[in-house]
Structure 1
Amino acid sequence: MRRLRPVTVRARATLGASSVVAVALAIASFSLLGLLDANLLHNAESDAEAQATGVAQLAQAGRLTPQLPPTHGADFLQVVDAHGTVLSSSQNLAGRPAISDRRPSVPGTVFGTWDISPLGSEHRQRVVQVTTDTGQGLVTVYAGTSLRDVDAADTTTAAALAVGMPLLLLTVAVVTWWVTGRALQPVEAIRAEVAEISDRDLHRRVPVPQTQDEVARLAVTMNATLDRLESSGRRQRQFIADASHELRSPLTVLRTQLEVAMAVRDPAAWPELIEGALEDTDRLQRLAADLLLLARIDSAEPLSAAPVDLTELVAEAVAIRRGDRCPAEGELAEGVRVTGSALLLTRVVTNLLDNAQRFADRRVEVRLRELPSARLAVLEVTDDGPGIPAADRERIFERFTRLDDARSRDHGGAGLGLAIARDLVRHHRGTLTAEPAEQGARLVVRLPLADPR
Structure 2
Amino acid sequence: MCPRSLQMRAALSSALASLAVFTVLGIAFDLGVRNKVETHLYLEAQRAATDWLASMRPGDVPRPTPMSRVDLLQLVDSRNRVVVSSTAAANRPALTAPLPPPEDRIQYRTECSPDGGCVVLVALRVLPFQTGLIWGGETHAVYAGRAQPAILATHRLELGTAAGVLLAAGLWGWGNWYRTGRTLRPVAEIRAKMSEITVSDLSMRVPQPSGCDEIAELARTANQTLARLETAVGQQRLFASVVSHELKSPLTGLRASLEEALLYRDEVDPHETIEAALETTDRFKAIIDDILMLAHLRTAEPVKPEPVDLGLLVEQETARTRGVPVLADAAPDLTVLGNRIQLVGALTNLIVNAQRHARSVVRVTVEQDGGEAVVTVLDDGDGIALEDRERVFEPFVRLQDGRRRDPKGTGLGLAISRAVAGAHEGTLRVEDSPRGARFVLRLPLCRAARQVQKEPAA
TM-score under structure 2 length normalisation: 0.77
Percent of residue pairs bearing the same amino acid type: 33
CA-CA distance at 1:96 after TM superposition: 3.6
What residue is the counterpart of 1:324 in the other structure? 323
Instruction: Return closer, same or farther for 1:187/1:294 CA change in 2, 3 Å cut-off.
Output: same
CA-CA distance at 1:148 after TM superposition: 0.8
Aligned residue identity for 1:288? I
Aligned residue identity for 2:386? A
CA-CA distance at 1:438 after TM superposition: 2.1
Whether the 8 Å CA contact 1:67–1:88 is kept in 2: the answer is: no
Note if 1:29 corresponds to 2:29. no
What residue is the counterpart of 2:286 in the other structure? 286
Q: 1:102-142 CA distances to partner (integer Å, 9 max, x unpaired)?
A: 75352565545x22439x77245254666855465987655
CA-CA distance at 1:75 after TM superposition: 4.8
What residue is the counterpart of 2:96 in the other structure? 99
- Matched residues, number: 439
What residue is the counterpart of 1:295 in the other structure? 295
What residue is the counterpart of 1:363 in the other structure? 361
Q: 1:254-280 CA distances to partner (integer Å, 9 max, x unpaired)?
A: 5677788898899x995x777665544
Instruction: Return closer, same or farther for 1:329/1:45 CA change in 2, 3 Å cut-off.
Output: same
Name which of structure 1's ranges 191-200 and 208-217 shifts more when overlaid on structure 2: 208-217
Structure 2 unmatched runs, 5+: 450-458
CA-CA distance at 1:15 after TM superposition: 3.1
Aligned residue identity for 1:328? L
Whether the 8 Å CA contact 1:17–1:173 is kept in 2: the answer is: yes
Whether the 8 Å CA contact 1:366–1:382 is kept in 2: the answer is: yes
What residue is the counterpart of 1:122 in the other structure? 117
Structure 1 unmatched runs, 5+: none
Instruction: Return closer, same or farther for 1:218/1:126 CA change in 2, 3 Å cut-off.
Output: farther
What residue is the counterpart of 1:199 in the other structure? 199
Equivalent residue in structure 2 for 1:40, among 30, 37, 41: 37
CA-CA distance at 1:354 after TM superposition: 2.0
CA distance in 2, matches of 1:293, 1:128: 105
Instruction: Return closer, same or farther for 1:446/1:102 CA change in 2, 3 Å cut-off.
Output: farther
Name which of structure 1's ranges 384-393 and 221-230 shifts more when overlaid on structure 2: 221-230
CA-CA distance at 1:336 after TM superposition: 1.6
Whether the 8 Å CA contact 2:41–2:120 is kept in 1: the answer is: no
CA distance in 1, matches of 2:278, 2:176: 75
SS at match of 1:439: coil
Whether the 8 Å CA contact 1:74–1:143 is kept in 2: the answer is: yes
Whether the 8 Å CA contact 1:52–1:77 is kept in 2: the answer is: yes
What residue is the counterpart of 1:151 in the other structure? 152
What residue is the counterpart of 1:241 in the other structure? 241
SS at match of 1:325: coil
Name which of structure 1's ranges 190-199 and 335-344 shifts more when overlaid on structure 2: 190-199
SS at match of 1:285: helix
Aligned residue identity for 1:417? G
Whether the 8 Å CA contact 1:378–1:444 is kept in 2: the answer is: yes
Instruction: Return closer, same or farther for 1:335/1:54 CA change in 2, 3 Å cut-off.
Output: farther
Whether the 8 Å CA contact 2:257–2:273 is kept in 1: the answer is: yes
What residue is the counterpart of 2:229 in the other structure? 229
Whether the 8 Å CA contact 1:36–1:154 is kept in 2: the answer is: no
Instruction: Return closer, same or farther for 1:229/1:71 CA change in 2, 3 Å cut-off.
Output: same
Aligned residue identity for 2:314? V
Instruction: Return closer, same or farther for 1:169/1:178 CA change in 2, 3 Å cut-off.
Output: same
CA distance in 1, matches of 2:161, 2:174: 19
What residue is the counterpart of 1:342 in the other structure? 340
SS at match of 1:407: helix
SS at match of 2:360: coil
What residue is the counterpart of 1:15 in the other structure? 12
Whether the 8 Å CA contact 2:311–2:330 is kept in 1: the answer is: no
